[in-house]
Structure 1
């Protein structure tokens, strides 16, 4: 049963007086091992799962949890210390797409292994393709500032239509990157234009892997695929699986190195900077291969190794 609430820091020499204060001046931890284990389990889920109303774990939520469960009132410092002691760190989360089907993702990993083997046998190139917008307004990212100073970024508040839209394609085997700027939004017609660019720039048979977005379907694409001796195959990623697309890393890279905390005011200025970035990638093939590997490649490598081991 919870006992009377009292301030308990759980740190040497801190906190209010306690009955179990030792002669050597050391306070035993406010939470015993079982209580710490319960707290550790709780912070791995949302606060609402523990019956708390706040949306995200913080020292305040830890204090509410400890007070409600154990009848102890911890200081803010103790709450933070417990989070660190239990192995917790602050990370910016990624979305876990619940609509993604695990069986379809697993099946695609198997298909991708076979696709890589086929491409190697045929001398084909595999390109992962995606599209992205880069707005002229500021895209806020964490930045270093002097302690006590506000982190501010100037903006002229350009309209939403001031944006640069791009297709990009990356080949993990060679580190090659292709890009194409698009006026306005993407659609089946612009997708065909980009496929034609890929076809013109690379003589080898091509395998293009992309998602099932609306710009990747339509009569224009179906007609283009009937081109004689095209030697270009389209492969669809499983639904809700952006983590399987290495080209997503290109967009993250641009947002980190080019557009972060910068107001460009006009789309042309965005385009000039992004174009320069893509031009520079031509001499950074090894870095491209390293940065663009995704969960798909890790799973495929593990599956291929397991299969090879089973056949030996």
Structure 2
């Protein structure tokens, strides 16, 4: 899983540079394989913005974007990771500054994904899927 930690609103001004950084990084790793990046996104309005669609269309040789069905958080690993992050961030010691909060979020994401590496401008996190067992309990693995 790749992620970025940012401040402010999640909009095309955040998402397009992230996609650009992601495609450049993955291209540098897989250039010899002649593959495209396949991005799976949820239904957030920013994912459907004209500027985002235009950028993806202009870079169709490097990236494809696919949408999850509506109202399907169980298919979205970001939802599980985000819930874990929120639970951890709200039950621990409160961050005193914005920079402390950003660092705490990055630290959590790296701890939750121990095989993480840090490419330029983005962070790569291999994600182990979690199956929901019952309310609040998860099992690692497929």
Q: Name the TM-score, length of structure 1 as normaliser.
A: 0.33
Structure 2 counterpart of 1:180: 4
The equivalences for 1:1-312 within 5 A come to 170=1, 178-203=2-27, 204-228=35-59, 230-280=61-111, 283-284=114-115, 288-289=127-128, 292-294=129-131
Query: Cα deviation per residue 1:84-134 (whole Å; 9 max; x = unaligned)?
Result: xxxxxxxxxxxxxxxxxxxxxxxxxxxxxxxxxxxxxxxxxxxxxxxxxxx
- How many residues of Structure 1 are paired with residues of Structure 2 in the alignment? 117
Tell me, yes or no, if the aligned pair for 1:188 and 1:220 is still in contact at 8 Å: yes
Query: Cα distance, 1:294 vs. partner?
Result: 4.8
Larger Rg: 1
Q: Where does structure 1 lack aligned partners over 5 or more consecutive residues?
A: 1-169, 171-177, 296-300, 302-312
TM-aligned CA deviation for residue 245 of structure 1:
0.2
Distance 2:21 2:108 in 1: 19
The alignment's C-alpha RMSD in Å is: 2.7
| SS at structure 2 position matched to 1:212 | coil
What TM-score do you get using the length of structure 2 for normalisation? 0.66
In structure 2, do the counterparts of structure 1 residues 181 and 221 end up closer, same or farther at CA, with 3 Å as the change threshold?
Answer: same
Kindly indicate whether the alpha-carbon contact (under 8 Å) linking 2:40 and 2:66 is maintained by their aligned counterparts in 1.
Answer: yes
2:93 is paired with a residue whose SS is coil
Structure showing the higher strand proportion among its residues: 2
**Shift in Å, 1:264:** 1.7
Considering fraction of residues, name the structure with more helix: 2
